[in-house]
Amino acid sequence: MSSGPRERPALETPGRPLAHTSGPRLLLAIVATLLGWIVVSVGLGVGLPRAGDGVAGTTLTLVPLVVGMTLVAIAGTLLFHAVRSWARLILAPWSLAVLVGLYCLSLALAAVYPPHASSDASLPADATRVEMISADGERLAGWYLPSHNGAAVVLRHGAGSTTADVMQHARVLNDAGYGVLATDARGHGESGGQAMDLGWYGELDTQAAVDLLADRRDVDAGRIGVVGLSMGAEEGIGAAGVDRRIRAVVAEGATGRTAADKAWLADEYGVLGLVQGVLDAGTYGLVDLLTPADPPPTLEASVHHSSPTAMLLIAAGDRPDEESVAVRLAALDPSRVQVWVVSGAGHVAALRTDPADWREHVIGFLDAALRVEPHR
């Protein structure tokens, strides 16, 4: 006896594509996506900056890229076969999420695990090698040019460079009578520790240098300043916000070291600025997860807490972002924060672009801020 037509299984019901989702394939697609995302990001963020370091650097770049992209391709294939019909539209947001994730994680890894910047440059003839220990126990190295006017500055280089890159600045400052303590940031040059190219250890490193200057017989502890370039500029602003011994800061090329520092982009560039803000939030959030360093205050907060320290913010004429940041920071306290925009200069190239003007602006500012008689 016929039992009548059989009912089709629910999994084949037309119009319900999500019911065709293959659980195991979907799970494998998720796992492959995560692994591929991480491995490709390692190749881009950790390997690529070291690609010029011979076979090891090339291997660290190419192997993760090949393996990671293979995993991502496998994940896409699995995802395509795990769903049916219109549910495959999920591939579009999945692809976007992978690209955004690669961008954010690659930049975060590049900032937290940069290659060690080395230097084989010789010291200035009249310089003395020095060492400092930061509050968290890292050994920091540098060299010192003695003061002839009782005042001194900590000279901080930018990310990926060393004290060898600020020798010209040191000579101009010392020729004007200032003691100059040029220090390698941790993980750079002769200093120990893990480098961090957003400068989140800058306050600790700079305070260790100020400690050394404050103990020197040729330096008046009440006449100490900081001159910083790029990352060093942001570190100098940050250090002034927590160390009252810093009486003057010259910061050239500061743009920001937290996502909040770049919130102004939304006002300046609208939707594009908002998109960049989302990417920055993801990047800096991952940085916070990857490094033991605490996120620093914003530059605005540091300027606010640095009162009454005088500041000279130098911006490159060819970098509108530097000028925008400098003008916004100066507006917080125009009575003590000055801005100098160097026409035709690139990033931290003011001294190279116009040596006489750099000397006039910087030395004149320091003389006034640190109560120094002009050097003859």
pLDDT in tens, 318-368: 999 999 999 999 999 999 999 999 999 999 999 999 999 999 999 999 999
Helix (H, G, I), strand (E, B) or coil at 326: helix
HSE-up of residue 196 (Cα within 13 Å, Cβ side) = 23
Within 10 angstroms of residue 320's Cβ, the number of other Cβ atoms is 12
3-state secondary structure string across 153-180 = EEEECCCCCCHHHHHHHHHHHHHCCCEE
Confidence bin at 4 (pLDDT 50/70/90): low
Please name the residues in contact with 356: beta carbons below 8 A apart, sequence gap of 6 or more: none
Q: Contact 160/197 with Cβ under 8 angstroms?
A: yes
Read off the DSSP letter of residue 89. Answer: G
Residue found by looking up tokens 């995993």 in the block: 71
315 closest CA partner among 350, 351, 271 = 350
The per-residue pLDDT of the chain, averaged, comes to 91
- pLDDT for 11 equals 44
94 closest CA partner among 104, 79, 116, 74 = 79
Would you state the structure tokens that stand for residue 116, as one six-digit string?
A: 């060690």
- pLDDT for 18 equals 43
Read off the DSSP letter of residue 148. Answer: S
* Number of residues that make up the chain: 376
Q: Contact 370/248 with Cβ under 8 angstroms?
A: yes
- pLDDT for 16 equals 46
HSE-up of residue 219 (Cα within 13 Å, Cβ side) = 27
Q: Contact 261/226 with Cβ under 8 angstroms?
A: no
- pLDDT for 156 equals 98
Would you state the structure tokens that stand for residue 376, as one six-digit string?
A: 């003859």
- Please give the Cα distance from 270 to 333 (Å, whole number): 27
Please name the residues in contact with 344: beta carbons below 8 A apart, sequence gap of 6 or more: 317, 318, 353
- Please give the Cα distance from 193 to 280 (Å, whole number): 26
Alpha carbon of 31 to those of 12, 79, 245, 328: distances in Å?
A: 27, 11, 52, 45
- pLDDT for 44 equals 94
AA identity, residue 142: G
Tens of pLDDT along 242-261? 999 999 999 999 999 999 99
Residue % of the chain over a pLDDT of 90: 77
Residue % of the chain over a pLDDT of 70: 93
Q: Contact 150/372 with Cβ under 8 angstroms?
A: yes
Q: What is the dihedral of CA 117, 123, 127, 131, to 10 degrees?
A: 30
What is the DSSP pairing of strand 246-252 with strand 179-183?
unpaired
Residue 198 has pLDDT above 60, yes or no: yes
110 closest CA partner among 325, 242, 287, 235 = 287
Tens of pLDDT along 177-192? 999 999 999 999 999 9
User: Nearest 5°: CA angle at 216, between 210 and 221?
Assistant: 55
Give pTM, 2 decimals.
0.88
Residue 1 has pLDDT above 70, yes or no: no
Helix (H, G, I), strand (E, B) or coil at 372: coil
Tens of pLDDT along 53-63? 888 888 889 99
Tens of pLDDT along 212-234? 999 999 999 999 999 999 999 99
HSE-up of residue 184 (Cα within 13 Å, Cβ side) = 30
- pLDDT for 268 equals 87
Would you state the structure tokens that stand for residue 73, as one six-digit string?
A: 């391709």
- pLDDT for 286 equals 97
- Classify residue 86 as exposed, middle or buried by CB count within 10 Å of its CB (0-12, 13-18, 19+): exposed
